């Protein structure tokens, strides 16, 4: 075949693209388990972080053994014994017509459109009893869906921590929700009152000393009130009756549920 023949050019192009596609496909298949493992470790790290159990230098998997993952059926608030928290994907379930339900306009305060029927929860026990509950939540801010874990004490009311691990708000404005100094203020605040009503709110301009509801309030974010409102609505939705409300009520009653 002549060096400059069209057939030769086409053959070289075809062989090259075949070799490249085999290389890319192989890399994708070979690296997939590692990517999945890294994604799992990332989530475990976030859960340990919000639980205050992260110890630098110690393997995440070892630390995560203190955490018990369960799947909750949100409507009833009971544990789904037949579902494996290691494989359940709440995000994928929320897109599946059978595994999720649409949320009506006025109830959709977190602006998520659909809610999966099941959600994972993470428990840290002390002497067998739940001592810390870590609840995943998500809601729309100004530009993006914000994903978080909220840690509550065993009373189901006292906030022990918050962490946001995925969001795309504006750097320097909405992304301040990731600021650890701001997140620090959440600790010790109450998310719900004794009757189970969700009272938590981010307050525009900051919590004043004479605020009678200061225990439920955290400073908002200057210049990012829309993101802050999204965070308030996210917490209210997920601790409310469509979210973990029924679960928290059952947990408070004690018994086999715990």
Ligand X SMILES: Cc1cc2nc3c(=O)[nH]c(=O)nc-3n(C[C@H](O)[C@H](O)[C@H](O)COP(=O)(O)O)c2cc1C
The answer to whether 145 contacts ligand X (rule: CB under 6 A) is no
The answer to whether 223 contacts ligand X (rule: CB under 6 A) is yes
Q: What is the DSSP letter of 222?
A: T
Pick one of 63, 83, 103, 173: the residue that binds ligand X (CB under 6 A): 173
Of 7-15, 76-84, 149-157, 223-231, the segment contacting ligand X by CB under 6 A is 223-231
| Minimum distance of ligand X from residue 223's CB (angstroms) | 4
- Distance (Å, whole) CA 64 – CA 50: 12
HEC readout, 62-118: HHHHHEEEEEEECCCCEECCCCCCCCCCHHHHHCCCCCEEECCCCCCCCCCCEEECE
- Distance (Å, whole) CA 165 – CA 149: 8
The answer to whether 227 contacts ligand X (rule: CB under 6 A) is yes
Judged by CB under 6 A, the number of residues near ligand X is 12
Cβ proximity to ligand X, 131 vs 225, nearer residue:
225
Cβ proximity to ligand X, 112 vs 224, nearer residue:
224
The answer to whether 222 contacts ligand X (rule: CB under 6 A) is yes
The answer to whether 206 contacts ligand X (rule: CB under 6 A) is no
Pick one of 145, 170, 185, 215: the residue that binds ligand X (CB under 6 A): 170
Cβ proximity to ligand X, 200 vs 247, nearer residue:
200
Contact assessment for residue 97 and residue 236, using Cβ atoms and an 8 Å cutoff: no
Cβ proximity to ligand X, 188 vs 223, nearer residue:
223
The answer to whether 139 contacts ligand X (rule: CB under 6 A) is no
The answer to whether 232 contacts ligand X (rule: CB under 6 A) is no
- Distance (Å, whole) CA 164 – CA 142: 15
| Minimum distance of ligand X from residue 227's CB (angstroms) | 4
The residues in 56-95 that bind ligand X, with binding defined as CB under 6 A, are none
Give the β-pairing of 118-126 and 114-116.
Answer: unpaired
Nearest residue to ligand X, scored by beta-carbon proximity: 174
Contacts of 63 (CB under 8 A, 6+ apart): 44, 48, 53, 54, 55
Q: Taking the CA of residue 52 as centre, how many other CA atoms within 13 Å lie in the half-sphere pointing to its CB?
A: 12
What does the block give as tokens for 52? 């205050």
Residues near ligand X (CB under 6 A): 142-143, 169-170, 173-174, 222-227
């Amino acid at each position: 075949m002549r060096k400059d023949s069209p057939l030769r050019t086409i053959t070289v192009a075809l062989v090259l693209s075949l070799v490249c596609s085999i290389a890319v496909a192989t890399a994708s298949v070979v690296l997939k388990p590692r990517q999945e493992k890294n994604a799992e470790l990332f989530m475990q790290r976030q859960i340990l972080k919000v639980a205050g159990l992260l110890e630098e230098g110690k393997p995440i998997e070892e630390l995560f053994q203190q955490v018990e993952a369960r799947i909750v059926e949100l409507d009833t608030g009971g544990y789904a014994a037949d579902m494996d928290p290691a494989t359940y994907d709440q995000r994928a379930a929320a897109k599946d017509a059978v595994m999720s339900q649409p949320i009506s306009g006025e109830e959709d305060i977190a602006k998520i459109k659909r809610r999966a029927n099941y959600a994972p929860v993470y428990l840290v026990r002390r002497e067998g009893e739940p001592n810390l509950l870590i609840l995943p939540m998500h809601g729309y801010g100004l530009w993006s869906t914000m994903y978080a874990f909220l840690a509550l004490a065993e009373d189901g009311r006292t906030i022990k921590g918050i962490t946001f691990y995925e969001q795309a708000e504006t750097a320097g404005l909405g992304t301040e929700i990731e600021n650890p100094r701001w997140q620090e203020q959440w600790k010790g605040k109450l998310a719900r009152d004794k009757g189970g009503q969700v009272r938590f709110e981010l307050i525009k301009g900051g919590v004043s000393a004479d605020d009678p509801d200061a225990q439920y309030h955290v400073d908002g974010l200057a210049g990012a009130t829309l993101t802050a409102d999204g965070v308030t609505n996210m917490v209210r939705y997920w601790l409310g009756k469509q979210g973990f409300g029924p679960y928290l009520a059952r947990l408070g009653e004690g018994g086999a549920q715990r």
